[in-house]
Structure 1
């Protein structure tokens, strides 16, 4: 009878509900099966599988030392805390095991290592690794997998530029010592090498793999894409026994990264099956290589194929609209976005940037106000956008409000704020912001920050102060700084200083026409025509030409077929 009951309980426990579990608990207690370690450990393990440790912890706390100090009971609780948390309890139970006279084994260590990994307790994990080696459990597959996962996660959490060789070697040593290596483990090791651009080590592993799957091939193609090795990437692609949509999309990136958009487009057109990632890869490639019209035309084609865009699609398209000044196309793109707030801050910022760069600063500001969550980058875009449109006071208000919101400005924030001060003539405010950068926010001024301050002072007649900063700053002045000084000289007809600045700027052997034009105009404004002519002749001798300004108005040459929510449906309606 007892054996039959135990057998039935063993069958019922894995599928029982939480309510049924409580009934089973009552049955175990009343039939004294709680003294049966096998049954009770299965019951306790099942109790941890409902997403919380409240009930299991209550059961465990009521156990006598005979049960609570059993290794199977301890392992059930350790497994439960690793699954549900708090993960600290998993590790603390492990630490208490020697005090209870218990020795961890191959069922204990994987859960403890997993909890250490989840919390980032890599030093503790390494201590556990030492115990594993000491007691001879490193060869067990589950233990080895948990160790490998821990060291790989540690590498993932580090900046690739500062990963120490020891950490990389730890992962590789565990990998080499594993008796059984599933293809997934090989793939993870290859991906680790690829992530730090060590394609040579990745290829050595790839070449000796006992078996490969499509992920193995794609990882290697991705590695060659990262280092822009088109030849090896193409060779592997041609040899792949099986190609999926990822394989084809990777090849688009390989050629796009190498600047060969024609071949990238051929791969895109040849793909047997495309998904939204494939379309995004081609559209973003056009945007990144300043082929904005092609990006928008391809987006129109994407719409005609009924492919649903995602946030990355819209960000790339809006970026192209921003650079082209294509406001109507940008509005249509906005019209296609069902709920832009659902996509997060990046897309919202892209919309703000598009409207601002296309001249509709009021719409940009309205979107900014309506955004629920705004990161530092979004605030930076807004500060610079209102400043470019001449609304200096608004830029300063946004800058001040950002700090009241508890966000810490970064170097781009200060560039935007100083730019606003420069174009609004706010000398005192600009100097206050510049000198507060390092003192109050710990941001060391870069060359562009000095350039903004020098431009601000030069525009407002404080040329001697600007020149003093140029001489004292820890950077070598570039042509933009000399140009700012020269512009100030022209405004104030300071010819002697202008000649000195021009002499210093000429020493840079720049091909920028702006400084020569500024010098010529400075002399011309004072009626010094021979000197003005000399500056122009100097340009001719150096074969430096001033480019004619132009305005770019986007016009799509794509014929659109009527379809739901197409460009033909768009009637220019306002949408926020």
Structure 2
């Protein structure tokens, strides 16, 4: 009967488990530790800790003296929570005269990780060493996992990479080290840029798999050591699609798109990640025509796209002003609203930059869960298209929805106020930056605010704000103030502004052009010519305007 139950319990459903439970408590099986242990383990696999606790309450003194039953209970809490109960039971064990074994420690360490109790985990590590279980593979693996999951900030102030140092100590004392453990240690070193430490481990490996090689190639790519990455790639006994994609990314990261494309074309097999890697590389390097050509090739080969694909292509369309191609991409999406918010944001930016602000607004309203970046793009797009009042409404609506604006949100909102002439709203928004959200204004925020005040006849307030700035004004801020001088025809202030701006030794001719225009608007042609000559004397030249619109 015991054998039948032992085989039956791991396969039973939750209802069948209850039937077996009823049978156990009415027979002598209630004292059979082996069956009770298997029964408890199976009950935890359904994630029902309420029933789990009910079983324990019926065990009485049997439960208090058997480590197997305690381990089953610890396992349940470690897998299903609450994790603090697992730690509490572990601390309770010595009071009951129970000694933890190699099954106990992994459950407790897992709970420490889940709770973020790394100090407790280290104290458990001390107990493990004292009890002699540090050489047990399952215990060592749990310790290794705990140190690698420890936050980078933990232990800062003692020495760099404290968690990796501790993980390496556990790694060195492991009696058995499968290739997966070696790979994880290499990956962690690569992840923090310690490629030399990773290479030392790699060279000491008796057995390597393709993951080992790929990790090292990615590591060298990350720190810009292309020759090392290329050497390993050429020596790999077996390459997969990840290996080839890593090389594409390595060359793209240093701007060598020609070589990156050669590797891409040579790939014996390409997956979606490979295509996205090449597309995003072109996008990041502003090769927008190549993005559209590659996407068209991808479509012709019948490959499916994902959110990363669409985001790269829509960004290219936005920068090229190619509305028709952008529409084609939009309509080729089966259900863009189910993709990540980044795709919806890219659609908004594409339509806005291509001139269709109404369609951009429609897309914005259809996005379910918007992030701050999405709101920022919509605010800036409306402001650029002259719908400044709508941009400000969106700014306040965003906060009503529970999202906190960031510095880019404020830049867009103040830009809208400046171009719409909303002085009061601008003051209110500018004051709220530090007061309500703890964001200190930067150059661009001061520039927008000074521009807003100057354009609307508030030169004194603009000058006062400039004096109160905790940072030195740049050429853009002086230019904004000078623009206000032009509106009010304040020549005296304009001359002072140009003098201060010229001290920056910037190569921007705008301040001199503005001063020249102020003189010209007042019929002072000699002074206007003098301002132009000063600009040319400082080797500054106004660039001719151009347009991307045919």
TM-score (norm. length: structure 2): 0.95
Deviation per CA, 1:333-388, whole angstroms, max 9, x where unpaired? 11111111211322111111221222111111122222211122211111111111
1:114 and 1:150 in contact (8 A); partners too: yes
Report the CA distance between 1:258 and its aligned residue: 0.5
CA–CA separation in structure 2 for the residues paired with 1:134 and 1:521: 84
168 and 464 in structure 1: CA distance in 2 versus 1, 3 angstrom threshold: farther
The corresponding residue for 2:102 is: 106
Aligned residues: 550
1:320 maps to 316
Return the match for 2:362 from 366, 370, 382: 366
Alignment correspondent of 1:571: none
- 1:270 and 1:532 map into 2 onto residues whose CA distance is 62
Report the equivalent of 1:236.
232
Matches within 5 A, 1:159-558: 165-553=161-549
Give runs of aligned pairs for residues 61-72 of structure 1, distance below 5 A.
Answer: 61-72=57-68
Deviates more, 1:461-470 or 1:329-338: 461-470
Q: Could you tell me how far 1:516 is from its partner in structure 2?
A: 3.2
Kept in 2: contact 1:461–1:488 (CA 8 A): yes
Partner residue of 1:570?
A: none
**C-alpha contact (below 8 Å) 1:155/1:168 kept by paired residues:** no
Relative to 1, partners in 2 of residues 1:32 and 1:284: Cα closer, same or farther, differing over 3 Å? same
Query: Are the structure 2 counterparts of residues 408 and 8 from structure 1 closer, same or farther at C-alpha, using a change threshold of 3 Å?
Result: same
**Partners of 1:421 and 1:456 within 8 A in 2:** yes
Query: After superposition, what is the alpha-carbon deviation per residue over 1:485-521, rounded to whole angstroms, capped at 9, x for unaligned?
Result: 2222222222222222222222222222333332332
SS in structure 2 opposite 1:382? helix
- Rounded to whole Å, the distance in 2 between the matches of 1:314 and 1:553 is 24
Given that 1:245 and 1:275 are in contact with CA atoms closer than 8 Å, whether structure 2 keeps it comes out as: yes
- Say if 1:155 and 1:163, in contact at 8 Å, map to a contact too: no
Aligned to 2:15: 19
- For residues 377 and 369 of structure 2, the distance between their equivalents in structure 1, rounded to whole angstroms, comes to 14
- 1:405-440 Cα offsets, whole Å, 9 max, x none, are 111121111111111111111112211211221112
- Please give the alpha-carbon distance, in whole angstroms, between the structure 2 residues aligned to 1:301 and 1:208: 43
Change (3 A) 1:356 1:242: same
| CA offset digits 1:103-152 (Å, max 9, x no partner) | 11110010111122123222222222222223222221111111111111
Matched, 1:129 2:125: yes
Judged with a 3 Å threshold, the aligned counterparts in structure 2 of structure 1 residues 321 and 156 are, in CA distance, closer, same or farther, namely farther
Report the Cα offset of residue 288 of structure 1. 0.8
Q: 2:155 touches 2:163 (CA, 8 Å); kept in 1?
A: no
TM-superposition CA deviations, 1:287-323 (whole Å, max 9, x none): 1111111111111111111111111111111111111
Cα root mean square deviation, aligned: 2.2
**1:83 corresponds to:** 79
90-99 or 534-543, larger mean C-alpha shift: 534-543
Is 1:57 paired with 2:66? no
Secondary structure of 1:50 counterpart: coil
- What SS is found at the alignment partner of 2:457? coil
1:546 CA drift (Å): 2.8
- Between 1:513-522 and 1:415-424, the stretch displaced more is 513-522
Distance 1:508 1:295 in 2: 40
Q: Contact (CA 8 Å) 1:390, 1:424: kept in 2 or not?
A: yes
Which ranges of structure 2 fall in alignment gaps of 5 or more residues? none
Greater RCO, CA 8 A, separation 6+: 1
Q: Is the 8 A contact 1:324 1:553 kept in 2?
A: no
Alpha carbons of 1:393 and 1:546: their partners in 2 closer, same or farther (altered >3 Å)? same
